[in-house]
Chain A
Amino acid sequence: MRLGPMVPTVVKNLISKKSTRPYPFVVREPFPDQRGELYCDIEQCIFCGTCARKCPSQCITVDKEQGLWICDPFACVYCGTCEEVCPTHCLHHKGAWRPVAGERQMIEMKGTPPKKKKKDAAKDAAAE
């Protein structure tokens, strides 16, 4: 039974450097391979839909016809499964976390579906 064994610790705290990180004035470098914001390099995407099928949160929708890669950023749980299964490695987690938002969002990326690459692109252009 002792009285105040905490004293040395708190005195040390008082005179040594505080451990508070000065965020947001200084932002720490992310560790390598950190799973931050998910990012799709849409140019590389072949719209195979693997990511959509494997995602445990089922937050990705891939529309091969339209060339749409849609993700609900509010439902993604940053597990990295999609990144691992993507055959073209077009999905990456950035180091930094996804910025906060003031309202609901949806990530909708439009790319060019494979095979009918040029033809479709021309068609689209013509349609517009």
Chain B
Amino acid sequence: MQAILDFIKSSRIKSPWLMHFDCGSCNGCDIETLACLTPVYDVERFGIVNVGNPKHADILIVSGTVNHRNKKVLANLYEQMPHPKVVVAIGACGLSGGVFREAPNVVGGIDKVIPVDAYVPGCPPKPEAIIDGVVLGLQKFAEKSLA
């Protein structure tokens, strides 16, 4: 029994399914996130699968600025993810609103709506940096699932 529980625990960081939500990004960050999945970076090496459904996701990758309309969507998606879960914000926009911080319909970074576990700076961050972000997220994931 203990062995099974251990296996489950160790499996957690080996099978992070991620969902990507574009929260009003300029696409720069999104295409770099997508690039992570493609042959050259192939994050499936780490068991990472891009799922389109919050109910199947462990990691939520969010890019872009939060505005009044998409903040509700963001909150919905986060709520529909089963625990344990982590959020990785990518790009200047996702981190703070970036260059658009002062634009009229911008609320700000992702952490204004949901708690963020890893911040990946860049505009857009390179795919390698996004992988780093997911790795950092996974560390938090491991901590959370122990708790």
Considering the chains assembled together, what is the distance between the CA atoms of A102 and B120 in angstroms? 9
Considering the chains assembled together, what is the distance between the CA atoms of A27 and B126 in angstroms? 12
B142 within 8 A of A: no
- Say which one of B7-15, B16-24, B37-45, B51-59 lies at the interface with A: B37-45
B79 within 8 A of A: no
User: Which range contains the number of B residues in contact with the other chain?
Assistant: 20 to 34
Q: Is the CB of A100 within 8 A of B40?
A: no
Q: Is the CB of A57 within 8 A of B39?
A: no
A97 within 8 A of B: yes
A32 within 8 A of B: no
B139 to chain A: closest CB distance in Å? 9
Q: Which residue of B lies closest to A57 (CB)?
A: B99
Interface residue from B118, B128, B140 paired with A27 (Cβ < 8 Å): B128
- Say which one of A18-26, A42-50, A83-91, A114-122 lies at the interface with B: A18-26
Q: Is the CB of B98 within 8 A of A100?
A: no
Interfacial chain A residues near B125, Cβ < 8 Å: 97
A25 to chain B: closest CB distance in Å? 10
Interfacial chain B residues near A58, Cβ < 8 Å: 101-102
Considering the chains assembled together, what is the distance between the CA atoms of A78 and B120 in angstroms? 13
Interfacial chain A residues near B123, Cβ < 8 Å: 76-79
> Which residues of A line the B interface, CB within 8 A?
18-21, 23-24, 27-28, 56-58, 72-79, 97-105
